[in-house]
């Protein structure tokens, strides 16, 4: 009689109660999108019209071979692999007609995993129990225990402590129309939470430390080559860090963790800061070859942006110090120092050749006037070039300070955004 339901009439409904206990979480594979869990499944039903007197027979329960007795064909819809758990060959039959069937099952089930908030992600994997053969008007499934009882029992008997922990279980009855009939299902939703401490220590903290070092490297002088060498070393170290930690990051085809986006953003900011440093060094060493900076750029950077980034504008001096040869000596020998203001004040001086028959003092003044006029013309040109170079250096200094504040702002905003996403 194992081929027929134990009911009086074929049209009667057989009620089967189901209970489940999670014994251990064996693993979650993000790449294969599957969950491996070890559960203990209990099924109970009544054989209609079967009973005996416990006092007369002397026992209240007997064991029967599963192969010689009818058992419901309950299966899990999310199964991806064959059950390799130990088989239990017996079921228990009580004197009241109640049949008790319990067995361990190693479940490898499909689970839609979302890793956007990795490593602080929470996953919801379902196990749907139902019959292959019987509609709900022939076999009705009901949950024998509540979700809270299942969760407490599962946490009590759990034998594993892996990367994932069970935080909640939900039980939902479900009826699904298939063709001309309706199937009855019981859906167990396992709420799993990842333990993030491994990834915080090995991924997040080292990345924050490297980005902080790159941020503090702005304290080095912008015109020094040491800053660019230091930033290159940091980028190399960050690249090696990402290559070593690549195995810890989950991989899926449709979803990208926000932590991966943060790593890419951090790497991009470090490269951008290196390019900015190279630009600053180039300006400091080659600004004498540049043309005069545009007026709008000078006004924008030196008058508007500089006060915003708390960089006071330096006052430029109009005095230039030059060296002149002493009388009666070549220019390559001893020299004296003279202070010159502008060549405009010397343009009206006499430029005629010096007459040696004049007063020696007056002749000396004439000679010095001619020499100073020629030197001032040359220095005027050099002064304009020096002023243009200084303007470019001031603009580069403002850009460097502005880049530092933008870098700091971007780091803070990206970290706060990650925390908000993880919190949600």
- Say whether both 127 and 103 belong to one domain: yes
Residue 66 lies in a domain: yes
Residue 404 lies in a domain: no
- Other CB atoms closer than 10 Å to residue 130's CB: what's the count? 23
- Asked if residues 77 and 124 have their Cβ atoms less than 8 Å apart, the reply is no
Residue 290 lies in a domain: yes
- pLDDT for 166-204, tens place per residue? 999 999 999 988 878 899 999 999 999 999 998 999 899
In the listed set 178, 194, 210, which residue is the last one of a domain according to the structure?
A: 194
Quick check: 378 pLDDT over 80?
no
More confident residue, 257 or 16: 16
- Say whether both 216 and 305 belong to one domain: yes
In the listed set 148, 174, 194, which residue is the last one of a domain according to the structure?
A: 194
Of 103-117, 168-182, 389-403, give the lowest mean pLDDT range: 389-403
Residue 330 lies in a domain: no
- Say whether both 140 and 248 belong to one domain: no
- Say whether both 284 and 149 belong to one domain: no
Residue 161 lies in a domain: yes
Instruction: Determine the structural domain holding residue 280 and report its residue range.
Output: 199-311+413-423
**Residue that the structure tokens 């196990």 belong to:** 127
Quick check: 213 pLDDT over 60?
yes
Confidence of residue 1 (pLDDT cuts 50, 70, 90): low
Quick check: 398 pLDDT over 60?
yes
Q: What pLDDT does residue 330 have?
A: 44
- Say whether both 18 and 41 belong to one domain: yes
- pLDDT for 42-60, tens place per residue? 999 999 888 888 888 888 8
Residue 406 lies in a domain: no
Quick check: 238 pLDDT over 70?
yes
- Say whether both 160 and 142 belong to one domain: yes
Task: Please tell me the total count of domains within the chain.
Answer: 2
Q: What pLDDT does residue 355 have?
A: 53
Confidence of residue 339 (pLDDT cuts 50, 70, 90): very low
- Say whether both 23 and 135 belong to one domain: yes
In the listed set 174, 194, 214, which residue is the last one of a domain according to the structure?
A: 194
Confidence of residue 381 (pLDDT cuts 50, 70, 90): low
**How far is it, in rounded angstroms, from Cα 255 to Cα 123?**
14
Quick check: 150 pLDDT over 80?
yes
Highest mean pLDDT among 82-86, 231-235, 338-342: 231-235
**How far is it, in rounded angstroms, from Cα 394 to Cα 23?**
69
- Say whether both 48 and 140 belong to one domain: yes
- Say whether both 35 and 92 belong to one domain: yes
- Other CB atoms closer than 10 Å to residue 5's CB: what's the count? 19
Give buried/exposed letters for 319-337 (b at 16+ CB in 10 A, else e): ebebeeeeeeeeeeeeeee
- pLDDT for 321-330, tens place per residue? 544 455 444 4
Tokens of 221: 């002088």
CATH code: domain of residue 114:
2.70.170.10
Residue 256 lies in a domain: yes
**How far is it, in rounded angstroms, from Cα 280 to Cα 389?**
13
**How far is it, in rounded angstroms, from Cα 270 to Cα 211?**
7
- Say whether both 73 and 124 belong to one domain: yes
- Say whether both 61 and 39 belong to one domain: yes
- Say whether both 148 and 27 belong to one domain: yes
Q: What is the largest CA-CA distance in the chain?
A: 159
Residue 302 lies in a domain: yes
CATH code: domain of residue 264:
1.20.58
């Amino acid at each position: 009689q194992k081929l027929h339901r134990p009911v009086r009439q074929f049209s009667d409904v057989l009620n089967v109660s189901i209970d489940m206990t999670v014994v251990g979480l064996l693993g979650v594979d993000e790449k294969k999108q599957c969950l491996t869990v070890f559960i203990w499944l209990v099924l109970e039903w009544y054989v209609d019209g079967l009973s005996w007197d416990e006092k007369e027979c002397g026992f209240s329960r007997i064991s029967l071979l599963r192969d010689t007795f009818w058992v419901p064909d309950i299966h899990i819809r999310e199964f991806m692999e064959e059950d390799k758990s130990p088989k239990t060959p017996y079921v228990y039959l009580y004197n009241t007609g109640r049949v008790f069937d319990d067995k361990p099952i190693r479940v490898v089930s499909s689970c839609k995993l979302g890793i956007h908030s990795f490593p602080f992600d929470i996953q919801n994997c379902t196990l749907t129990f139902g019959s292959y053969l019987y509609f709900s008007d022939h076999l009705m499934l009901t949950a024998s225990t509540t979700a809270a009882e299942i969760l407490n029992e599962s946490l009590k008997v759990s034998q594993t402590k892996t990367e994932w922990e069970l935080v909640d279980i939900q039980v939902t009855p479900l009826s699904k129309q298939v063709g001309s009939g309706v199937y009855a299902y019981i859906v167990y939703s396992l709420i799993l939470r990842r333990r993030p401490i491994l990834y915080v220590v090995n991924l997040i903290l080292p990345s924050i430390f490297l980005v902080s070092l790159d941020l503090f490297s702005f304290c080095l002088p912008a015109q020094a080559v040491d800053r660019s060498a230091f930033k290159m070393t940091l980028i190399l170290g960050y690249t090696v860090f990402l290559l070593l930690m690549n195995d810890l990051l989950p991989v899926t085809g449709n979803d990208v963790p926000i932590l991966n986006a943060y790593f890419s953003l951090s790497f991009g900011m470090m490269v951008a800061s290196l390019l900015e440093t190279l630009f600053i060094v180039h300006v400091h060493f080659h600004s004498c070859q540049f043309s005069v900076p545009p007026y709008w750029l000078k006004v924008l950077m030196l008058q508007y942006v500089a006060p915003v980034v708390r960089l006071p504008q330096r006052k430029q001096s109009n005095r230039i110090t030059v060296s002149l040869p002493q009388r009666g000596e070549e220019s390559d020998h001893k020299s004296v120092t003279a202070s010159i203001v502008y060549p405009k004040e010397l343009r009206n001086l006499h430029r005629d050749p010096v007459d040696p028959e004049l007063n020696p003092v007056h002749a000396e003044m004439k000679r010095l006037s001619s020499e100073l006029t020629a030197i001032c013309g040359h220095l005027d040109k050099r002064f304009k070039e020096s002023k243009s170079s200084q303007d470019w250096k001031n603009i580069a200094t403002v850009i460097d300070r502005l880049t530092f504040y933008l870098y700091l702002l971007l780091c803070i905003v990206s970290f706060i955004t990650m925390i908000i996403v993880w919190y949600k």
